């Protein structure tokens, strides 16, 4: 089955989709950017589940490129899929880890039975990935993925991000 890719300018916490993807950090205990917005708007249930994950399977933290789901609390979505993007560096090519965030999030979405999934531009904020390249990796990886997800919606926070993604689709 083919997956439809769509672009929306806006705030990921407002998306009425089955699952929203969080650009988390490995602590799973909150941060800035998308992560901060999701925990603020979603309420304490999300953090509580994240803490439980840290007490169990992910006691060392969620590895970069991996993904795990929790409830979405008060968000319109049903689930939050947390993934940890790589920090951008000129010293090392971490593209494969960024691609892994998209692939692993879609794998988790398939496990949940999610049909619509919203992604932010993972790593392209605090983690410093150049937007043009982040958009290319995001779109190429989602296009190549084997998934039952019917719609992948990229949520772009500003015009520059939207334009960068629009050049790739």
Encoded one letter per residue, x for contact with ligand ADP by CB under 6 A and - for no contact, window 81-100 reads: ----x---------------
The answer to whether the beta carbons of residues 18 and 118 sit under 8 Å apart is no
Which lies closer to ligand ADP via its Cβ, residue 33 or residue 65? 33
* 73 forms part of the interface with ligand ADP (CB under 6 A): no
For residue 127, give the nearest of 47, 34, 1, 19 by alpha carbon. Answer: 34
Catalytic option among 35, 55, 93, 158? 35
CB 102 within 8 A of CB 134: no
User: Could you confirm whether 93 is annotated as catalytic?
Assistant: no
Q: How buried is residue 31: exposed, middle or buried, by Cβ count under 10 Å (0-12/13-18/19+)?
A: middle
Task: Indicate whether 33 belongs to the interface with ligand ADP (CB under 6 A).
Answer: yes
Among 50, 109, 122, 145, binds ligand ADP (CB under 6 A): 122
> Which residue has the closest beta carbon to ligand ADP?
125
- Structure tokens, 38: 């999701």
CB of 146 to ligand ADP, least distance (A): 24
- Dmax (CA) for the chain in angstroms is 42
Task: Decide if 12 contacts 161 (C-beta within 8 A).
Answer: no
Residues within the interface to ligand ADP (CB under 6 A): 11-13, 23, 32-35, 37, 85, 120-127, 155, 157, 161
- Active-site positions read 35
């Amino acid at each position: 089955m083919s997956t439809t890719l769509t672009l929306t300018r806006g705030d990921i916490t407002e998306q009425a989709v089955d699952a929203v993807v969080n650009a988390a950090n490995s602590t799973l205990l909150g941060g800035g950017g998308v992560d901060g917005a999701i925990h603020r708007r979603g309420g304490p249930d999300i953090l509580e589940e994240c803490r439980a994950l840290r007490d169990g399977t992910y006691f060392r933290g969620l590895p970069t490129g991996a993904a795990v789901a929790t409830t979405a609390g008060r968000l319109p979505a049903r689930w939050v899929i947390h993934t940890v993007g790589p920090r951008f560096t000129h010293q090392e090519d971490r593209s494969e880890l960024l691609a892994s965030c998209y692939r692993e999030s879609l794998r988790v979405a398939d496990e949940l039975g999610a049909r619509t999934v919203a992604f932010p531009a993972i790593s392209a904020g605090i983690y410093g990935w150049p937007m043009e390249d982040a958009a290319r990796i995001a779109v190429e990886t989602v296009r190549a993925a084997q998934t039952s997800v019917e719609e992948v919606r990229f949520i772009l926070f500003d015009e520059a991000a939207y334009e960068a993604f629009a050049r790739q689709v």
